Amino acid sequence: MLKNGRTPRIVLYALVLALVIGGVLYYFRADIQTLVEVMKSDRTPPLLVILSFLVLPVAFFPITALLVLIGIRFDVWWGILIMLLSMPFHLLFSFWVTHFLLRKRMERFARNKGEAILNIPEHRHVEFGLLFMAVPGLPYAVKNYLLPLSGIGLGKYLLISWIVQGGMGIPFVILGDAAAQYSTSLFILFALLFVVAYIITQSVRRLYNARFGGGRR
């Protein structure tokens, strides 16, 4: 966990980031309103949004933007459901591609990045998988392609990645719905979740560094 002396600073950083996001949303509110109107109109079929979220993340498209878009196009609960139902496809595809197509290339990438992900002992797969997926830094798709290199089984990989990545995606779906509804209460909820998530990820980063040498052998 974070040391007491560091906790206020981490909370302050998280609050500042939340305020910056709020300021950006306010400054670009006219552009956001235009985007919302386009996304909500018949010019953007719901199936197209769903297919985009299903396909683009495995091609390294930033998932955060897509989470906000499904929050805009759908409400919070439908957005979260779409996210959770789509992620297993991303994970299955990434697991298969890593094992059967890109293993050597991904291993070389991991070594270049200094990621301590190769040959993790089996009894540490769950611990490593949880920390690796939760620690900030690498993009969503990169984590999905790299974690199979640890030797983790498909079942554990799916469950760990689905739970952690899904939980981390919820605030951004809420942000999209807040933008769509111009809802102050939803934005406050996003800000609170963002602060909590930021504090947790910093704790996870410290734990990951302590257990696995900061990603380096």
pTM of the prediction? 0.76
Kindly report, residue by residue over 52-109, the tens digit of the pLDDT: 999 999 999 999 989 988 988 888 899 999 999 999 999 999 999 998 888 888 888 7
- Rounded Cα distance, 84 and 78, in Å: 10
Domain boundaries, the chain: 7-215
- Rounded Cα distance, 62 and 44, in Å: 20
Kindly report, residue by residue over 159-176, the tens digit of the pLDDT: 999 999 999 999 899 888
